[in-house]
Structure 1
Amino acid sequence: MNHALPAVAENIEATARGVGRVGPAFEDVQRIAVLRGGGLGDLMFAVPAIDALKARYPQARITLLGTPLAAALLRDRPGPVSDVEIVPVAPGIREGTADPLAVEKFFDRMAVLNFDLAVQIHGGGRNSNPFLLRLGARHTIGTRTPDAVALERTIPYVYYQHEVFRALEVAGLAGAEPRILEPRIAVRADELDGAARLVPGDAPLVTLHPGATDPRRRWPAESFAAVAALAAADGARVLVVGDETDLPAAREILRLVRRQAPGASITSLAGDLDLGQLAGVLAASTVVVGNDSGPRHLAQAVGTPTVGVYWIGNVINAGAIGRTLHRVHLAWVIACSTCGVDVTQVGWTAERCEHDDSLVGSVRPEAVYEDVRQLMATTLPLRGR
């Protein structure tokens, strides 16, 4: 009788489950540094990996090396991050005018923390791996392109991979298995109370975020306005949110809706909310409609259903995973509509044409609103409203 098959099955059963391989854990890890800068969405992508690290090393204090945005959002918020250290402006780490003295002061401050494990989930490692190594941690893990310096344990950096899974695969190098596959951010009671004051009323709340860092990812204002008008016609309150850069789009959406539906219940808080207030408003929303942008990712993390408008390439790296609470509308575009250049970029070093034409303008507002309508009808009981 052949006994090989049961032995193989037993080995499979004994193998830790993760994204990719789960390596052996490190011993006596008390302090962990996680390097993840970038925007709000980038921070959200890191949350499941940080959660996995905390579960594997429950005694460890986890310090996020991030941006002022990360510090503002995570300060006094329950979760796996113990504290946030703001990284200095440096090439490939944080945009701005570099200050060599500030960089040196940062590393002097980090040296006294005596990190046992440093985790790089900040790009391919050309700039971030040398930065991470300067922390002097006993162990280092992260991603690596062929031209990046090596860490103790690495995985290859391949651009087209979902960012959540990429970070989880890195966490697996330290023996950390996933517990969650989507980011989760706790919303404080005071933030929910604040949202009730900012957006009073009992009707369903449809919140729109028209912004995105890359203008090519922005759905036209007239398309958001069409969704807003349909939602208002169905008795929903409509709210537009965003930062100062989103003010022109917010004003245009309000102008178009008020022209199309003079009695519509629509307001804008674009440019008026800090991150805590934004988290509360998103959590209080019935559905959030947005581009591939930080606020849409934050809405997902606080548990609110979303409808996202995506260029097909961004879905691979940043699309919502489930479809019960999160719907995705795709624009199957691979070339610039002005010059015809291939837009299926491979990483930040890829050449890009000078045109900012929207890659998602072909997505139909009626199709987006149909998902909004379905989510308003089917998710309210799940959210206890």
Structure 2
Amino acid sequence: MSRRPLLHRLDPASVIVFRALQLGDMLCAVPALRALRTALPQAHITLVGLPWAQQFADRFKAYVDEFIAFPGHPLLPEQPVRHEELTGFYTGLCQRRFDLALQLHGSGEVSNDIVSGFGAGAMAGFCRGDAVVRERMVLSTYPETGTEPERLLLLVEQLGAGAATAEAGTQLEFPLSRQDEDELAASGVARGLEPGRYICIHPGARQRDKCWPPRHFAELGDRLASEFDVKVVLTGSAQEADLTAAVAQHMQQTPVDAAAPISIGAMAALMRDARLLLCNDTGVSHIAAGLKLKSVVIFSKADIARWAPLDRHTHRCIWDPGAERASVVLQHARALLSGTAPSRQRTVGMWPYW
């Protein structure tokens, strides 16, 4: 006799979710969190993540009730380990006795051991090799294909939330708050910009070796500004000011350099009213997907089939590790700004890439 899905058997009142990653990776988990909330509307859902993700949990209060900062692990590269906090972290979680611990941090080689230490009544997640299905543990074989949101949704579906995943959908979100709007206004970086009359160029990325050359961004910025009568706004964190300055230096037009010590939310509020985002494969590409902002995303290292936005017509993904395809990037930026169809594409699976 087949065993009922884990969520149906448990009907958990408390769920702890582990995903200790950076912005883009966290935004890709929103559809799975939304489906989990749809399936378990009364459950208390706690997110364990990198310390910065407190702001992620605050933004997505509809899906996350509580946030706990993860002190790190020697085999996870995202942050140094805060050894003095480890005992208290694991002891505190075990004392809470969560009904279900859900591992949304990848294929499980390291993260399954971490999540098993949370002391929950049951555990679910991905694993390498054959699936593990026991009374209090369900580990599904990690899928090697599909986008990141689809892979995470598949896990929630296999746990018994099939109807919820269909209802919740695959779309990304990036809700903006009044605080975001007020911070943007106070910063002054959007002063004089008219909605729909500017494009954003984001030349940075967390890994600098993923960045397209500043002179390429500059050349395309000049061409698009001239052809479509739009202002160019250079976005980035304060740590990326050297990149926006380099782009500005190479431009003939005078852009707005909006690299400033403003929050992710304020930067997203600035992007919301743009006509287009041109960027590297980094977290802002997923913000654009959440805002439904047209974008051209340049890939050089990451798995494009996994990390490209689902809507490949609104978000054009260009594979250009050698920085040799500026004409293709320009072509698709023009197509998005003018509303025309692309003239050339290749396909991987069912989705267009360029």
CA positional deviation for 1:149: 9.7
Conserved in 1, the CA contact under 8 Å of 2:132 and 2:138?
Answer: no
Distance 1:360 1:292, change over 3 A: farther
Matched, 1:330 2:319: yes
Partner of 1:288: 277
Conserved in 1, the CA contact under 8 Å of 2:218 and 2:248?
Answer: yes
Moved more, 49-58 or 244-253: 244-253
Q: Indicate the SS of the match to 2:89.
A: helix
Q: Which letter does structure 1 place at the counterpart of 2:323?
A: G
Matched, 1:113 2:74: no
- What is the CA deviation profile of residues 46-71 of structure 1, one whole-angstrom value per residue up to 9, with x for unaligned ones? 11111111111111121111112221
Partner of 1:214: 207
Matched, 1:230 2:223: yes
Distance 1:255 1:312, change over 3 A: closer
Q: Unmatched 5+ residue regions in structure 1?
A: 1-21, 332-358, 380-385
Matched, 1:253 2:247: yes
- Provide the rounded CA distance (Å) in 2 between the counterparts of 1:241 and 1:363: 22
Partner of 1:86: 69
Distance 1:69 1:159, change over 3 A: farther
- What is the CA deviation profile of residues 241-269 of structure 1, one whole-angstrom value per residue up to 9, with x for unaligned ones? 22344222211101001xx23xx3x1222
Conserved in 2, the CA contact under 8 Å of 1:141 and 1:173?
Answer: no
- Provide the rounded CA distance (Å) in 1 between the counterparts of 2:161 and 2:315: 27
Q: Unmatched 5+ residue regions in structure 2?
A: 341-354
Moved over 6 A (4+): 147-151
Distance 1:95 1:325, change over 3 A: closer
CA positional deviation for 1:163: 1.4
Conserved in 1, the CA contact under 8 Å of 2:236 and 2:259?
Answer: yes
Distance 1:198 1:182, change over 3 A: same
- Provide the rounded CA distance (Å) in 2 between the counterparts of 1:213 and 1:149: 35
Distance 1:112 1:284, change over 3 A: farther
- Provide the rounded CA distance (Å) in 2 between the counterparts of 1:305 and 1:360: 24
Distance 1:46 1:130, change over 3 A: same
Distance 1:125 1:296, change over 3 A: same
Matched, 1:165 2:150: yes
Partner of 2:139: 154
- Provide the rounded CA distance (Å) in 2 between the counterparts of 1:254 and 1:53: 44
Matched, 1:305 2:294: yes
Aligned-residue sequence identity (percent) comes to: 24
Partner of 1:374: 335
CA positional deviation for 1:93: 4.1
CA positional deviation for 1:120: 0.8
Conserved in 1, the CA contact under 8 Å of 2:210 and 2:301?
Answer: no
Matched, 1:176 2:152: no
- What is the CA deviation profile of residues 325-347 of structure 1, one whole-angstrom value per residue up to 9, with x for unaligned ones? 2111223xxxxxxxxxxxxxxxx
Partner of 1:25: 8
Partner of 1:341: none
Q: Which letter does structure 2 place at the counterpart of 1:145?
A: R
- What is the CA deviation profile of residues 120-158 of structure 1, one whole-angstrom value per residue up to 9, with x for unaligned ones? 111221221111011111221111124999981112235
- What is the CA deviation profile of residues 14-58 of structure 1, one whole-angstrom value per residue up to 9, with x for unaligned ones? xxxxxxxx8763433111111111211110111111111111111
Conserved in 2, the CA contact under 8 Å of 1:78 and 1:186?
Answer: no
Matched, 1:70 2:53: yes
Q: Indicate the SS of the match to 1:174.
A: helix
Conserved in 1, the CA contact under 8 Å of 2:183 and 2:262?
Answer: no
Conserved in 2, the CA contact under 8 Å of 1:126 and 1:149?
Answer: no
- Provide the rounded CA distance (Å) in 2 between the counterparts of 1:162 and 1:119: 19
- Provide the rounded CA distance (Å) in 2 between the counterparts of 1:86 and 1:122: 15
CA positional deviation for 1:296: 1.4
Q: CA RMSD in A?
A: 2.6
- Provide the rounded CA distance (Å) in 2 between the counterparts of 1:37 and 1:103: 15
Matched, 1:362 2:351: no
Q: Indicate the SS of the match to 2:48.
A: strand
- What is the CA deviation profile of residues 63-91 of structure 1, one whole-angstrom value per residue up to 9, with x for unaligned ones? 11111222123325543112221111212
CA positional deviation for 1:180: 1.8
- What is the CA deviation profile of residues 304-363 of structure 1, one whole-angstrom value per residue up to 9, with x for unaligned ones? 2211112375211101111342111223xxxxxxxxxxxxxxxxxxxxxxxxxxx25122
Q: TM-score by structure 2 length?
A: 0.83
Q: Which letter does structure 2 place at the counterpart of 1:237?
A: K
- Provide the rounded CA distance (Å) in 2 between the counterparts of 1:212 and 1:292: 7
Q: Which letter does structure 1 place at the counterpart of 2:171?
A: E
Distance 1:173 1:139, change over 3 A: farther
- Provide the rounded CA distance (Å) in 2 between the counterparts of 1:49 and 1:133: 20
